[in-house]
Structure 1
Amino acid sequence: MQQKKSAIVTGASSGIGFSIAKELCNLGYEVYGFGRNFSKAEVASYIETQPLFHAKVCDLLETQRMCDMAKGIAKSTQLHILVNAAGVGYYGLHEELNVKQIQTLVRTNLEVPMILTNRLLRMLKQNRGHIINVSSITAKQNNPHGCAYGAVKAGLTSFGTSLFEEARKYGIKVTTIHPDMTDTDLYRDADFTCAKEAGCYLESEQIAQAVRFLLEQPKGTVIPELTIRPQYHRIARKAKNADA
């Protein structure tokens, strides 16, 4: 019996990563979702009822454990898709960030996808697979009060576009998605959030639908970069007494 095609999705316990994982399950992939905590009610309920979703508890900053887990999946399944969706954001004046925050930004948003791709690329070449990196609109613009975040996302974009040129001759597809402000927990520590009026922000499900669009392109067609923006650009400042 032929194995189902499989996918690895990082950041799959919430937000964009979780929505992408669900969409891949809808497309019939065996999805191995990497995340630190799958206990949220919505996520836990979905896992219980969706046999194609395999939750893999993993701190992505524990590099050896992450690599061992990923390579084990690649060896035992038909790995066709890697989605690097895990991300973390810290915002504010650059001088106000601490060293640990900067290190976490660099490691989570750039080091992790580069290492995971490095470990899985040979298997993905064999299967003529697709690597999808979830970057950010900040990779394409100046980012006062978000210098470090914008820098690592720009690095991820550069990595993805260069990797496509390097690996395309092997049948590998590489796409970098640049979502604008999306209604997720990414901004929980920021002093701003997306305005809640319709058309002022993206939903994580819209990014997942974009992934489906990418995967349904005709054979021999690749979309190396995809930018997704809401109709309006409106940011709301959080009240100072907002929950801690």
Structure 2
Amino acid sequence: MKHIAIVTGASRGIGLAISQILLSLNYVVYGVCRNPENCNYHHPEFHLLKGDLSNPNTIPNFLNQIPNIDNISILVNNAGFSHFAPIEEFSPNKITEMTQVLLTSPMLLTNSLTRILKKNEGRIFFIGSISGIEISPWGNVYASLKAGLHQFARLLFDELRKYSVKVHLVIPDITKTEFYEQLNIEPDADPKSFLLPEQIANVIKFILTDSAGQVIPEILVRPEVFKIKRKKFEK
């Protein structure tokens, strides 16, 4: 029986790249996303489940769709979205939605699957953000939630290591994905100034194929140079 991996936000960007790496390592991958029909990638062992992580009631619904759920050995908490603005411009609904997707849902998923992961001596990956470390203009809500996710992962590492469950926090810097679609900045054209989703996925592969007896609890991945540009909007 093949091992099963769950990846949130699996239909594009970093989540899709991680899913493809896991498939290459012979995992059956169940991806969770809002709109599975928009994903153009297909593989016989890649199964996209519809789930809105801003609604906690959907979590048991999509978990119940996974056959052989007791074979889950990897959980990748990756899903997220960005919204940067002065704090007074956030609506209460937007703050609640971001909190649910970026912090509460990873906690709920981890809570739901930890007993299985203990039995299988599995792994939990958290995809963090450089925003959770550094100060960014108008990044108040997003950065605070990512910092909270970082701390949750760090505390979980110590809690679960005695059960041989390995917890890994991967913190990417600027990565060229759809993340910047709604922002007024974007990665520079210089290919040395941004990461690609495949590079983050290769970090996951490195961790999974690393020597037994050691764990990488946290890794920060940064591009070679720092450059970013403001988008030009037509007047």
Contact 1:61/1:107 (8 A) holds in 2? yes
Check if 1:5 corresponds to 2:3: yes
Give CA deviations for 1:89-147 in whole Å, capped at 9, x if unaligned: 11122222222221122111101100000000000000000000001011111222211
In the superposition, relative to structure 1, how do residues 94 and 74 fare at CA in structure 2: closer, same or farther (>3 Å)?
Answer: farther
TM-score (norm. length: structure 2): 0.95
Contact 2:128/2:169 (8 A) holds in 1? yes
Moved over 4 A (4+): none
Structure 1 residue aligned with 2:58, among 41, 55, 65? 65
Residue matched to 2:220: 227
Check if 1:214 corresponds to 2:223: no
Distance 2:48 2:227 in 1: 35
In the superposition, relative to structure 1, how do residues 71 and 214 fare at CA in structure 2: closer, same or farther (>3 Å)?
Answer: farther
SS in structure 2 at match of 1:168: helix
SS in structure 1 at match of 2:220: strand
Structure 1 residue aligned with 2:75, among 75, 79, 82? 82
Q: Residue 67 of structure 1: CA displacement?
A: 2.2
1:160 maps to a residue whose letter is A
TM-score (norm. length: structure 1): 0.92
% identical aligned pairs:
38
Check if 1:188 corresponds to 2:181: yes
Q: Which runs of 5+ in 1 are unaligned?
A: none
- How many residues get paired? 235
Distance 2:182 2:90 in 1: 12
2:215 maps to a residue whose letter is V
Provide the alpha-carbon RMSD of the alignment. Answer: 1.5
Residue matched to 1:157: 150
Distance 1:211 1:15 in 2: 14
Q: Residue 187 of structure 1: CA displacement?
A: 1.6
Residue matched to 1:176: 169
Check if 1:108 corresponds to 2:125: no
Between 57-66 and 71-80, the greater mean CA deviation after superposition: 71-80
1:186 maps to a residue whose letter is F
1:19 maps to a residue whose letter is A
Structure 1 residue aligned with 2:197, among 204, 207, 228? 204
Distance 1:184 1:208 in 2: 13
Residue matched to 1:20: 18
Q: Residue 188 of structure 1: CA displacement?
A: 1.2
2:187 maps to a residue whose letter is C
Q: Which runs of 5+ in 2 are unaligned?
A: none
Residue matched to 2:122: 129
1:11 maps to a residue whose letter is G
